Structure 1
Amino acid sequence: MSKMVLLVEDDESIAIVIKAALEAEGLQVDRCESISCRDEMLADGNYDVLLTDVMLTDGDGIESLGDVRHAHPDLPIIILSAQNTLDTAVRASDTGAFEYFPKPFDLDELVRAVRQAVDSRAASVDPAPDRGDSLPLVGRSPAMQGVYRMITRVLRNDLTVLILGESGTGKELVAEAIHELGHRKTGPFVAVNTAAIPKELIESELFGHEKGAFTGAVARTIGKFEQANGGTLFLDEIGDMPFEAQTRLLRALQSGRIRRVGGREEIAIDVRIVAATNRDLQPMIEAGTFREDLFYRLNVVPIQLPPLRERAEDIPALAEHFLNQAVEEGLPIHRLDAAALEVLTQQQWRGNVRELRNFMYRIALMAREEVINTATVHSLLQERPAAKAEGGAPDFNAAVENWMTEADAPAGTLYHSALAAFERPLFELVLARTGGNQLRAAQILGINRNTLRKRLAELAIDPDRFTGQG
């Protein structure tokens, strides 16, 4: 007997495509367009999966799912939505949804999810978390949809998460979202920048120390692991942690127990670990500066944050969001006209979201008019490029100083952050000069062609897009 799917979708073209794809898999599909029709059909039929859109002809498809859950507690629910925000993804997760798909979606992936739901009939229901009035992440781009989906998948478990991304992409915001929206939200959220702690103090900072453990240890001190007990410990810039400390961290993660520096007693700890780095850890593993076993311990659920250049369509929403934040912090009310938003969207933000935020706060402070136009934006953007030295050549010192101001790199990470920031534009400029010819580019740079290819792959630079520019 074929399995039954109830499709609730008011867009006829989308419904036709989904229905045909599912029926090709041997599933029987009934379709309706409203919440009231959905409820009638669920009451009369015996369905194996509910596949529903969010915005329907008579209301919000998610808000009304509580009654469906009460009447059909074991019915797997798959949610589709064009309202592609973190809030929608989390609301879908709150219902105990089997899966959530932002529109547009991959049809093959949707069909696989429906088949898995049919086979499982094991959707679980957890109470919805109280999220408060706001969520930290902004953007509806396809690049951010994958981030939202990954966040919702780790809210009800304690799997270790490794957040990867360039400086300024919002790694700590993701860590905070995982904590604040998850089942550990009533516990503490403790963040530690492992790159900002002197090498000789990092073990004491993480694990604490006993009185007299070393010179200056005049009293017992509780470390970050104990401070985070019952909650979440966020280990930022994990790629810059000293190798010796990595060994003790690995032992703590494996055993769930720590020992204070100078102490004898082992202490059980109950923390959820979220780590983050802007470094490519694989070359560090190969070079012997990062432990491979620690990497696999941390990299249980990787979340890759896109740089702002890969989600430029989110820039208008981010800009408005930061202007609203600025008002909350006492700066004047402003808004951007359409042309000014377009200028911001076309701009390169090498410091990613952090640089855009800093710029919007500068606009909020400096702009005289309430409605900000292109003239004001261009005027402030002119302050961003490097100053010119005598003779018209770029002043490299000024460029570095400007980058330091915009990037706001954490203490202890400046050297590696500067290299990463310099390497990308250098490679792109040379590739543009050579028309994408990697051999010539490698010769100009004075590096091996294989080395160039590897770095281009790691930096996600496509040399083909420079073809014909030389």
Structure 2
Amino acid sequence: MTGGAGRVLVVDDDGAIRTVVREALRRAGHIVETAASVAEQRRLFASFDPQVLVTDVMLPDGNGLDIIPEMLEKNPGLPVIVLSAQNTFTTALRATEQGAFDYLPKPFDLGELTRAVSDALAARAASGATLPDGEDAEDLPLIGRSPPMQEVYRTIARVVANDLTVLVLGESGTGKELVARAIHDFGPRSSAPFVAINMAAIPRELIESELFGHERGAFTGAQARSAGRFEQAQGGTLFLDEIGDMPMEAQTRLLRVLQAGEFTTVGGTRSIRADVRIIAATHKDLPRLIADGGFREDLYYRLNVVPIRLPSLRQRGDDIGELARFFLDRAAADGLPRKMLDPGAVARLAQHGWPGNVRELENLMRRLAVLSREDVISATMVEQQLQHPVSVEALPLTATGSGGLADAVEQHLARYFATFGRDLPPDGLYDRILAEVERPLLELSMAAAKGNQLRAARLLGINRNTLRKKLTDLQIDAGAAKRSD
């Protein structure tokens, strides 16, 4: 689905346009009110509480663009669609600068306007600007209102209603799986399974079996038939994470599935129709991999139908405070002490480089929730944790229960399983949980060793080459601790 039905206020001084647009939007299921002037718009705005505003530029008592900031102040996150017969670059640019969601030059196509309204409602839902009754911030798929994220929301809104293949690009920790889940949850396949597989976490020799399943006796140890991820995701969405790590032979088979729309299990002969939507993701430079012979060019073009490039947290400075508060709230919901941030703490967070992106920020907020003795976290406490994170030994082991660390992990996992109700979580849980523990462990150890990899390796009791590989795989800035000392 797209954004569903919503309340739309249409402002235009041309009575014929108001009538045509009103009837077209009502046929699409929306509730519509119309106004002929700025004054009438102001009068209707409070009582009607629109979810989308469609406005002309030239009105008898003012300029439709000039009123946008006032409407956004009254209703933050309100998508505004601007209509104008002044079809110039300046008009389009000014509409964008004033915060318009979309701009349609006159004469416009009614179908295009209807789609724009639907996209606006979907983007509003995805960004959490207004929550449906019964939902709260914990239910939101994505957080943030910065311009880069608004562009992400707009793209998501345009693809949720169809089955186009999506390629999500971005650094590690930016939330690529969250985007995939949002596309699934807001789309027509939301009642069917969402199945994720991480290509980097599956041994090369098992990739094809994991994806397509296998028959009994297909290989040594195949004691029974096993359904692969394509079968598990039938009718729903298959999320291929870290697609850049897929072996070449598996790429060839995946390409055939995308071309033919069907597959066979390993050792099988019967073709099975692949009724799944494919969303792939990677932090790697696929064009460079293609040039190096590590990725098929034809598969790249099959996957890159609709690219969504997620911004790094460094590019989302306006979102950092909102994200930090969200993560503190979620930590409190998980049983950690409830904390707040003072303005100085938010300012200090905005100055950080965030090599680990949103995941790094979430880990920091959880650490601060445990370690801060005060209810309000100050800039000094943030600075201390960014510059000199405490050693593992200093962390309290009874954050969520009366036992030790094992008790805290058990309660965390119990809540995780509970969120899926009667269903099981996506496969690959072991690797996901290990990754959650491994990143803060390595970050804390590197900080304690002041960036010295040999010292950190000894602290951890692992080989230096192993540590270096893990730092690279997790994109942990090995020199950050030393530079901040």
TM-score, length basis structure 2:
0.63
1:365: Cα distance to partner? 1.3
Partner of 1:187: 192
1:213 aligns with 2:221: no
Cα gap change, 1:394/1:169 in structure 2, threshold over 3 Å: closer, same or farther? closer
Partner of 2:51: 62
Structure 2 counterpart SS, 1:117: coil
The letter of the residue matching 1:315 is I
Counterpart-to-counterpart distance in 2, 1:116 and 1:202? 52
Partner of 1:39: 33
Counterpart-to-counterpart distance in 2, 1:394 and 1:337? 30
Q: Is there any run of 5+ residues in structure 1 with no aligned partner, and where?
A: 1-5, 10-18, 31-37, 46-51, 66-78, 93-100, 404-412, 430-470
1:374: Cα distance to partner? 2.2
Cα gap change, 1:102/1:236 in structure 2, threshold over 3 Å: closer, same or farther? farther
Cα gap change, 1:172/1:188 in structure 2, threshold over 3 Å: closer, same or farther? same
Counterpart-to-counterpart distance in 2, 1:153 and 1:298? 17
Partner of 2:426: none
Partner of 2:85: none
1:340: Cα distance to partner? 1.2
RMSD of aligned C-alpha atoms?
A: 4.3
Counterpart-to-counterpart distance in 1, 2:76 and 2:307? 18
Cα gap change, 1:194/1:371 in structure 2, threshold over 3 Å: closer, same or farther? same
**Contact kept? 2:312, 2:357, Cα under 8 Å:** yes
Summarize the alignment of residues 194-343 of structure 1 with structure 2, pairs less than 5 Å apart: 194-343=199-348
**Contact kept? 1:85, 1:139, Cα under 8 Å:** no
Counterpart-to-counterpart distance in 1, 2:479 and 2:152? 24
Q: Is there any run of 5+ residues in structure 2 with no aligned partner, and where?
A: 1-8, 20-31, 55-67, 82-91, 126-131, 390-442, 461-468
1:400: Cα distance to partner? 8.2
Counterpart-to-counterpart distance in 2, 1:371 and 1:291? 52
Counterpart-to-counterpart distance in 2, 1:268 and 1:379? 55
Cα gap change, 1:174/1:365 in structure 2, threshold over 3 Å: closer, same or farther? same
Cα gap change, 1:342/1:41 in structure 2, threshold over 3 Å: closer, same or farther? closer
Cα gap change, 1:211/1:83 in structure 2, threshold over 3 Å: closer, same or farther? farther
The letter of the residue matching 1:395 is N
TM-score, length basis structure 1:
0.65
Say which of 442, 445, 452 aligns to 1:395: 452
Moved more, 375-384 or 123-132: 123-132
1:368 aligns with 2:379: no
The size of the alignment, in residue pairs, is 356
1:162 aligns with 2:153: no
The letter of the residue matching 1:62 is Q
Cα gap change, 1:109/1:41 in structure 2, threshold over 3 Å: closer, same or farther? closer
1:379 aligns with 2:384: yes
Counterpart-to-counterpart distance in 2, 1:174 and 1:399? 35
The letter of the residue matching 1:8 is V
**Contact kept? 1:337, 1:371, Cα under 8 Å:** yes
1:114 aligns with 2:105: yes
Counterpart-to-counterpart distance in 2, 1:259 and 1:102? 51
Counterpart-to-counterpart distance in 1, 2:178 and 2:300? 22
Moved more, 375-384 or 181-190: 375-384
1:190: Cα distance to partner? 0.3
Cα gap change, 1:40/1:153 in structure 2, threshold over 3 Å: closer, same or farther? closer
1:28: Cα distance to partner? 8.8
1:172 aligns with 2:177: yes
Counterpart-to-counterpart distance in 2, 1:108 and 1:380? 36
